[in-house]
Amino acid sequence: MKEIDFWFTVGSTYTYLSVMRLGALEAKNKIRFNMRPFSVRQLMQEQAGNPFLNNDKKMAYMQRDVERRALLYGLAIKSPVPYPIEKFELTNQIAVLGAQEGWCREFVCRCYHYWFGEGLVAGSPVNLSRSLDDIGQDPARVIREASSVAVVEALEDATNAARGLGLFGTPNFLVGDEVFWGDDRAEDAIRFAQTGGF
Amino acid sequence: MKEIDFWFTVGSTYTYLSVMRLGALEAKNKIRFNMRPFSVRQLMQEQAGNPFLNNDKKMAYMQRDVERRALLYGLAIKSPVPYPIEKFELTNQIAVLGAQEGWCREFVCRCYHYWFGEGLVAGSPVNLSRSLDDIGQDPARVIREASSVAVVEALEDATNAARGLGLFGTPNFLVGDEVFWGDDRAEDAIRFAQTGGF
Is A47 a residue whose pLDDT tops 90? Answer: no
DSSP helix/strand/coil, A5: strand
pLDDT of residue A48: 65
Q: Structural domain of residue A17, as residue ranges?
A: 2-195
Option in A47, A57, A184 nearest B55 (CB): A47
Tens of pLDDT, residues B20-30:
999 999 999 99
Tell me the residues of chain A between 92 and 151 that have a Cβ less than 8 Å away from chain B.
none
Residue type, B140: A
Q: Write down the pLDDT at residue B67.
A: 95
**Is the Cβ pair A198, B64 closer than 8 Å?**
no
User: A42 touching B, CB under 8 A?
Assistant: no
Average pLDDT, integer, range B116-141: 97
Q: Which residue of B has its CA nearest to A67?
A: B198
Residue A51 has pLDDT above 80, yes or no: no
Q: What is the CATH number of the domain that holds B58?
A: 3.40.30.10
What is the Cα–Cα distance from B187 to B31, expressed in whole angstroms? 11
- The mean pLDDT value for B125-141 works out to 98
Can you give the pLDDT at residue B138? Answer: 98
The model's confidence at residue B54, banded by pLDDT at 50, 70 and 90, is confident
pLDDT of residue B48: 65
pLDDT at B137 over 80: yes
Question: What's residue A100's pLDDT?
Answer: 97
User: Is B42's pLDDT higher than 90?
Assistant: no
Check: CB of residue B160 under 8 Å from CB of residue B124.
no
Q: For A82-103, how does the pLDDT look when each residue is reduced to its tens digit (9 = 90+)?
A: 988 999 999 999 999 999 999 9
pLDDT(B47) > 80: no
Distance CA A36, CA A159 (A): 10
Q: What percent of chain A has pLDDT over 70?
A: 98
Entry pTM: 0.92
Per-residue model confidence (pLDDT) at position B55: 76
C-alpha B69/C-alpha B14 separation (Å) is 9
Q: How many structural domains are present in chain B?
A: 1
Beta-carbon contacts of residue B61 (< 8 Å; ≥ 6 apart): A166, A168, A179, A181
Cβ separation of A57 and B167 shorter than 8 Å?
Answer: yes
Burial class (CB in 10 A: 0-12, 13-18, 19+), A140: exposed
Q: What are the tens digits of pLDDT across the range A62-84?
A: 999 999 999 999 999 999 999 88
Helix, coil or strand: residue A194: helix
